[in-house]
């Protein structure tokens, strides 16, 4: 009897031990599997990130090599850009890191083929039919409470320029393009089409590299002469209009902006800033609705509106937004015009204040 009880207790003890063993083995397996699963997940994630990085590097490389310009206002922006600008904090253009480019060569011929030269037109955009909206007519429109709107696109030409021009054409609207020095046949066609379609073609520096163009008046002069000569060579029209990268009130310039304003004043070149901004240069693509909200929030507060937008490979939503913008402006009976020599100056720092 005693033996059988002892035997049963022994059995139970063995069962308990077997159970403990199982639990310990399962626990150990869990400990081994958990990091393995984590490793697999992390491995997959690193692989995906590497792919994205490669894509971004390829885009950045192709941009710096093909266009020889700094990546405009879309990459690597400081989060707090307001400190950079003295005025119009709600409507500022942002600046970015620099990409090294070859030294400017004012002697180069920009590689324009004879074929392209045949396309050169000799229309002064400022005197075209679309600039014929007289000051009286504009005054009358303002008296009637209508908005007078000048749409401007900076940083082009890009692979989006054609689409932008198509949309403007569809709505029979003329705008203003502040362009940089992009070489290559595809871009030559964009510069010439801007003028042929009746828009105003302005300068926005050749290199768009703040650290270079704003380092000294000499450097600014070199860049200015290059973009002026380039636009004249590809379009046959001498440009008369300028927009400072970052605006006339930017605080990234190494020397006071008044130096460069005086330079343009001496050359008889007019510059425009903006008082309405899509804020589409903040380092990431904004949704269409946000861009529209930004624009109309500013437009509500102004009668004469110079709207800052960007013509960039990276800003597809700006293009997508354009038809809705034009639709709404048409619905509110706004007068939409290209900037001409008679357009009311919108300048963060007045050219007249600099002698
Ligand atoms: Zn710009």
SS (H, E, C) 338-355: CCCCCCCCCCCCCHHHCC
Asked if the model's pLDDT at residue 122 lies above 90, the reply is no
Q: Which residues pair with 154 in a beta bridge?
A: 178, 310
Q: Which two tokens stand for residue 22?
A: 């199982």
- Give tens-digit pLDDT for 62-94: 333 333 333 334 333 332 232 233 333 344 444
Rg (CA), the chain: 30
Q: Cα separation of 291 and 38, whole Å?
A: 40
User: Which residues have beta carbons under 5 A from ligand 1 (an ion)?
Assistant: 154-155, 245
What three-state secondary structure class fits 153? strand
Average pLDDT on 129-137 reads: 68
Distance 69 CA to ligand 1 centre (A): 11
Distance 165 CA to ligand 1 centre (A): 19
Q: Which residues pair with 85 in a beta bridge?
A: 250
- For residue 209, the tally of other CB atoms under 10 A from its CB is 24
Query: Mean pLDDT lowest for which of 170-174, 210-214, 283-287?
Result: 283-287
Distance 271 CA to ligand 1 centre (A): 13
Distance 182 CA to ligand 1 centre (A): 13
Distance 71 CA to ligand 1 centre (A): 9
The structural domains of the chain, ordered by start, are 82-353 (3.20.20.370)
Residue 285 CB partners (closer than 8 Å, separation 6+) = 314, 315, 316, 317
Q: Is 295 or 61 the better-scoring residue by pLDDT?
A: 295
Distance 180 CA to ligand 1 centre (A): 8
Predicted local confidence at residue 152, as pLDDT? 98
Distance 18 CA to ligand 1 centre (A): 74
Distance 115 CA to ligand 1 centre (A): 30
Predicted local confidence at residue 40, as pLDDT? 78
- Give tens-digit pLDDT for 20-45: 999 988 988 888 888 888 767 777 78
Distance 136 CA to ligand 1 centre (A): 32
Distance 312 CA to ligand 1 centre (A): 10
Distance 245 CA to ligand 1 centre (A): 5
Segments of the chain assigned E as strands:
148-154, 176-179, 200-203, 241-242, 270-271, 276-277, 304-310, 335-336
What three-state secondary structure class fits 307? strand
Average pLDDT on 177-199 reads: 95
Average pLDDT on 234-260 reads: 96
Q: How far is CA 176 from CA 18, 30, 152, in A?
A: 83, 66, 5
Predicted local confidence at residue 30, as pLDDT? 85
Query: Please, are residues 309 and 101 in contact by the beta-carbon 8 Å criterion?
Result: no
Distance 204 CA to ligand 1 centre (A): 7
Predicted local confidence at residue 112, as pLDDT? 35
Distance 235 CA to ligand 1 centre (A): 21
Task: Report which of 136, 140, 164 is spatially closest to residue 152, judged by C-alpha positions.
Answer: 164
Q: Which two tokens stand for residue 231?
A: 């636009």
Residue 179 CB partners (closer than 8 Å, separation 6+) = 155, 156, 157, 191, 194, 201, 202, 203, 204, 227, 231
pTM: 0.67
- Give tens-digit pLDDT for 321-333: 999 999 999 999 9
Predicted local confidence at residue 222, as pLDDT? 98
Q: Cα separation of 182 and 193, whole Å?
A: 15
Distance 76 CA to ligand 1 centre (A): 14
Task: Specify the DSSP class assigned to residue 285.
Answer: P
Distance 213 CA to ligand 1 centre (A): 13
Q: What is the mean pLDDT of the chain?
A: 80
Task: Specify the DSSP class assigned to residue 85.
Answer: B
Res. 108 pLDDT band, cuts 50 70 90: very low
Average pLDDT on 324-347 reads: 96
Q: Cα separation of 262 and 266, whole Å?
A: 6
Distance 328 CA to ligand 1 centre (A): 26
- Give tens-digit pLDDT for 153-166: 999 999 999 999 99
Q: Which two tokens stand for residue 111?
A: 């590689």
Distance 310 CA to ligand 1 centre (A): 7
Distance 161 CA to ligand 1 centre (A): 15
Residue 324 CB partners (closer than 8 Å, separation 6+) = 288, 292
Q: Cα separation of 353 and 355, whole Å?
A: 7
Distance 26 CA to ligand 1 centre (A): 62
Query: Mean pLDDT lowest for which of 153-162, 166-175, 182-191?
Result: 182-191
Residues of the chain with pLDDT > 70: what percent? 74
Q: Is 283 or 213 the better-scoring residue by pLDDT?
A: 213
Q: Is 116 or 178 the better-scoring residue by pLDDT?
A: 178
Predicted local confidence at residue 135, as pLDDT? 84
Phi, psi values for residue 305, rounded to 5°: -120, 120
Asked if the model's pLDDT at residue 15 lies above 80, the reply is yes
Q: Which two tokens stand for residue 57?
A: 């590097």
Distance 247 CA to ligand 1 centre (A): 8
Pairing of strands 176-179, 200-203: parallel
Distance 333 CA to ligand 1 centre (A): 29
Residue with tokens 């090599």: 65
Distance 229 CA to ligand 1 centre (A): 19
Res. 53 pLDDT band, cuts 50 70 90: low
Distance 239 CA to ligand 1 centre (A): 17
Q: Cα separation of 284 and 281, whole Å?
A: 7
Predicted local confidence at residue 352, as pLDDT? 96
What's the burial of 294, exposed, middle or buried (CB within 10 Å: 0-12/13-18/19+)? buried
């Amino acid at each position: 009897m005693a033996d059988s009880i002892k035997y049963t207790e022994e059995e139970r003890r063995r069962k308990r031990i077997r159970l403990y063993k199982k639990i310990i083995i399962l626990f150990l397996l869990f400990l081994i599997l958990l990091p393995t699963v984590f490793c697999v997940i992390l491995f997959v994630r690193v692989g995906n990130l590497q792919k994205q990085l490669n894509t971004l590097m390829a885009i950045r490389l192709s941009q710096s090599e093909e266009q020889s310009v700094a990546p405009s206002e879309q990459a690597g922006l400081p989060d707090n850009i307001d400190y950079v600008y003295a005025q119009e904090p709600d409507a500022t253009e942002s600046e970015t890191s620099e990409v090294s480019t070859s030294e400017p060569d004012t002697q180069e011929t920009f590689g324009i083929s004879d074929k392209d030269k045949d396309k050169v037109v000799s229309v002064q955009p400022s005197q075209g039919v679309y600039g014929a909206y007289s000051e009286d007519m504009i005054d009358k429109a303002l008296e009637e409470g209508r908005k007078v709107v000048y749409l401007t696109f900076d940083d082009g030409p890009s692979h989006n320029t054609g689409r932008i021009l198509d949309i403007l054409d569809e709505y029979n609207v003329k705008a203003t393009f502040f362009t940089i020095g992009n070489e290559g046949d595809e871009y030559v066609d964009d510069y010439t089409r801007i003028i042929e379609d009746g828009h105003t073609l302005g300068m926005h520096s050749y290199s768009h590299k703040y650290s270079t163009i704003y380092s000294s008046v000499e450097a600014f002069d070199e860049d200015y002469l290059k973009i002026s000569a380039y636009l004249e060579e590809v379009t046959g029209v001498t440009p008369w209009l300028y927009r400072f990268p970052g605006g006339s009130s930017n605080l990234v310039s190494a020397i006071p902006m008044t130096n460069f304003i005086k330079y343009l004043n001496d050359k008889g070149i007019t510059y425009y800033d903006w008082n309405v901004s899509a804020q589409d240069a903040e380092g990431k693509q904004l949704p269409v609705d946000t861009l529209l909200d930004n624009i109309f929030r500013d437009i509500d507060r102004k009668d004469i509106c110079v709207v800052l937008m960007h013509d960039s490979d990276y800003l597809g939503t700006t293009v997508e937004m354009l038809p809705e913008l034009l639709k709404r402006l048409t619905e509110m009976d706004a007068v939409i015009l290209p900037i001409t020599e008679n357009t009311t100056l919108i300048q963060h720092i007045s050219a007249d204040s600099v002698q």
